Structure 1
Amino acid sequence: MAVLETSRNKKVLLKKTEEYFNAIRTNIQLSGENIKVVAITSVQSNEGKSTTSASLAAAYARAGYKTVLVDADIRNSVMSGFFKPKTKITGLTDYLAGTTDLSQGLCDTDIPNLTVIEAGKISPNPTALLQSKNFENLLATLRRYFDYVIVDCAPLGMVIDAAIIAQKCDAVLTVAEAGKIKRKALQKVKEQLEQTGTLFLGVILNKFDTKLEKYGSYGAYGAYGNYGNYGKK
């Protein structure tokens, strides 16, 4: 009986999580019909940006959109294992370095409509790869063949990669862990992203305890789906 109850609770939790990301997907779509390529970053590591990227990509795919998730956190990828590749594939760094064709890095997943490009081998010069013409060509190609492109980036509070990537995207989001990230650090990341000239959609507050009645220091951010209002008076 206890096992059945645990399973039921897990299903409820998964359903709620799916609803959250459906709401985020809808908010992004309402932010502009031309937003097709979205970058996602965070201030620090372990805030849940990769899980958020994967969940958002899955939300688009489950809604019937042809979606590709690009693991561009090529310094410290944690995306491997999120999905089950149907075939052995190469990674993003292999393509950017010019050692393989893009078609060899496209991986179908067990989620219909969802394709993944994994990070690949660790590069000795990741910044140069992301600044290369190959990366720009990659996004241009994916834009033509997919309805939506979700790009998981390295934490901007640690390395500059996300700002480089954001310049080539239509919009960018930041994931912040509730109770962990200081407002000042988040504000700095927001300003860096805005300087790229790419539309900053806002902050996704992650790992927030919904049982709490108050948001505490995150009161200005709100919960999931509160885009574009951070920092406004």
Structure 2
Amino acid sequence: MPTLEIAQKKMEFIKKAEEYYNALCTNIQLSGDKLKVISITSVNAGEGKTTTSVNIARSFARAGYKTLLIDGDTRNSVMSGVFKSREKITGLTEFLSGTADLSHGLCDTNIENLFVVQSGSVSPNPTALLQSKNFNDMIETLRKYFDYIIVDTPPIGIVIDAAIITQKCDASILITATGEVNKRDVQKAKQQLEQTGKLFLGVVLNKLDISVDKYGAYGSYGNYGKK
């Protein structure tokens, strides 16, 4: 089995934010003991969904849970820059298209209990691959072997892939960056995730300067969403 390592610069950031992601994992567990497969998405690119996916998966793994992190963003993978490998690795696209066995793309990591399936090659029709029986069968098979499966998806505000993936999961989380997304777009993304029929766990607000109190009383968003 190939082994991936988290890039050093990424690891330094991950350690700094470890406490926050541990708390997020606890909240996921408190939401239901049958929630094993979680999709992570955002409205737009660059809001931190991949960083959040990696950190949640790492936190579960470090807590002793056998965890799989799937890069479901086959259009524009960011996760490929997080994990490094010295060998060529097949990924999700190759398995779904039938050109490789999933076992060839399942990677160990330098973090105990954490495994990764990378996105693979760019597909000319990624939506069709995600809608295929192969994807559904893959998720159902992996459920038997892992305590938690975290799926990093494309931004739901850009392509439909995130909703398709979420239909095969148990729940979803929406990531948004402070001041970068209109509140109306966040609400629309939330509605899209809820329409999948799967549990919507909530919104994670990224890039918040905690040294500056812009929020005041509960319910006041300050500058959030004003553009």
Flag whether TM exceeds 0.5 (same fold): yes
CA deviation after TM superposition for structure 1 residue 220, in Å: 6.1
CA deviation after TM superposition for structure 1 residue 55, in Å: 0.8
Aligned positions of 1:155-174 closer than 5 A: 155-174=155-174
User: What letter corresponds to residue 195 of structure 2 in structure 1?
Assistant: Q
Aligned positions of 1:117-196 closer than 5 A: 117-196=117-196
Q: Which residue of 2 aligns with 1:55?
A: 55
Q: Secondary structure at the match of 1:205?
A: strand
Moved over 2 A (4+): 13-16, 83-89, 218-221
Q: Secondary structure at the match of 1:80?
A: helix
Matches of 1:14 and 1:98 in 2, distance apart?
A: 35
Is the Cα contact below 8 Å between 2:36 and 2:143 reproduced in 1?
yes
Number of equivalences: 210
CA deviation after TM superposition for structure 1 residue 14, in Å: 5.2
Matches of 1:149 and 1:107 in 2, distance apart?
A: 14
Q: Percent identity?
A: 62
Q: TM-score when scaled to structure 1? A: 0.86
User: What letter corresponds to residue 108 of structure 1 in structure 2?
Assistant: D
User: What letter corresponds to residue 62 of structure 1 in structure 2?
Assistant: R
**Is there any run of 5+ residues in structure 1 with no aligned partner, and where?**
1-9, 222-233
Matches of 1:215 and 1:102 in 2, distance apart?
A: 46
Is the Cα contact below 8 Å between 1:83 and 1:110 reproduced in 2?
no
Q: Which residue of 2 aligns with 1:231?
A: none
Is the Cα contact below 8 Å between 2:66 and 2:113 reproduced in 1?
yes
User: What letter corresponds to residue 158 of structure 1 in structure 2?
Assistant: I
**Is there any run of 5+ residues in structure 2 with no aligned partner, and where?**
1-10, 222-227
Alignment RMSD: 1.9
Matches of 1:212 and 1:49 in 2, distance apart?
A: 23
Matches of 1:148 and 1:189 in 2, distance apart?
A: 24
